[in-house]
Structure 1
């Protein structure tokens, strides 16, 4: 393969509302192209040029694929004053938005751009080719004006407040969490979420056959109303959500008020399959993607799916606020949570000291506190702080949680055992016998020999 070619893509803000796209935190992940279709390749760098007064280069990035035929149904069509319809497009990723545009005057004053197409033929179709020398000069100038996100701000930390079953107006949902405001799949750059919408009242006419296979399993049809569906845009965001660290949030309904149906993940054993469905309004059949979703917290029993991810150290320095503002004793709840974090982090350090890696649950796992592998044995742990008035409840709950974790993970490890890690010895000795009969190891700091046997 030869050297990569650099390009300039031109945006007319009178036709495409680029400022609205950035203000709403939406991603720009493709652009219309008319020339050099056989020469544009994955990995080619590009600069985005906004035309008109006060314009210039506003972003740089790279192409993520080769040009493809777009039927004109992509989600960013909402930013066009007039939908462009079917066209050739190239997939791309914006890597850096610039704090201020690199203006036309800079290009005119730089001798490396003498005779460049963007200056001599500004109204020619996209894209404009750059020489290696021109790209090096432009990239160096862009490096001086880089900021780290849309509109000069870093994407906000993920802070999800909706509970399953809650309803919210879709416009308010996007105001709060970002993402595009129409279409079925809405990845956000403001938060680590991919918002997906299912609507039986409108989906059937476009060949979207979403199926509830059970309360915890859902088959979701990919994006694309005509022609074969491919892994670009929203479909790619769903396929790669785990490796990208994104949460899949499912909503019932697509317009007006929508209802939150919880967080989901792709089935690690069979993330998707292919099917066939009619195009929009009963058009010819085309190939469609069926994503196989599992509700977070449901059992993932596919053998070979790894358990856990790198341990996430809990913050012990900040007293957490209780989830229920009307709790009878918020300070006491904060103390219990802080003690829980302290116990959990200390146990993780013991695991490391013995040459093993502590694990936190991944979205495919039940919500254990810590796990680790010792040879063929997987140990999963539930940590409990204890007070005299809540001890029985804590122990009863912890034993039940561990039995559930062990059962869910039994297909994914050769041997699984559960450890109930307590703040101290139980006041009632009978709990030691109950744990032994249930097959649960119970231990606490200073009495932990059984954990390491």
Structure 2
């Protein structure tokens, strides 16, 4: 554990040693400790009953995201110990119940910050900066192109998966938005399987990336239009207080300009590499 770094996310439970504190609520349901331990073990983790040597991750329930005022409570003592370990250069991950839910389903979870309350007493956890159910961990190009199987005999969306053109377009999009100080995310567990997502203020942009090399441009663009409209529609039904903005990202400019006007009529932001105008 000495010298372990953290990029702000817990990407997997594999090889982590966990302890639990407080009441763990996952997807609105209380999960008993034995079940928490069983789920963690299925993902390659080991668990301990309290904070002791070798703990690398604390699952913090009961008052997650709020100030801990009673330093005699076990969950407070656990956070104090985790904070002390961090100060000594031994980073201990901390996630809440929502984050644990992401991890046991194979998704990444934000590693929560610990801050001292201005009034003194025990530390408090800082709520996750990402919106659970919409944006997941920072996007890595090799993770893009993932789509759920459909009932179609041939899943046309799989045509992009793993192609060099698709991956290079994703990488270029990540670099472009990073230049504007915007971090691109993968999809979260309860969101549609979009290729890339990012937030600007209260707007959430969900994008489908389509390569146009070696395939029918019309087919790819039609498919992408349907996908991003579906993604935005699903999220509008489940997420309140945020505007959902569909984006179709192409490998290059489309051969036919009619797609530009059609996208505008449908409220889709159409852009393409390498300049990504409008994004």
**TM-score, normalised with respect to structure 2:** 0.48
1 or 2 for the larger relative contact order (CA 8 Å, sep ≥6)?
2
**TM-score, normalised with respect to structure 1:** 0.31
* Structure having the higher Rg: 1
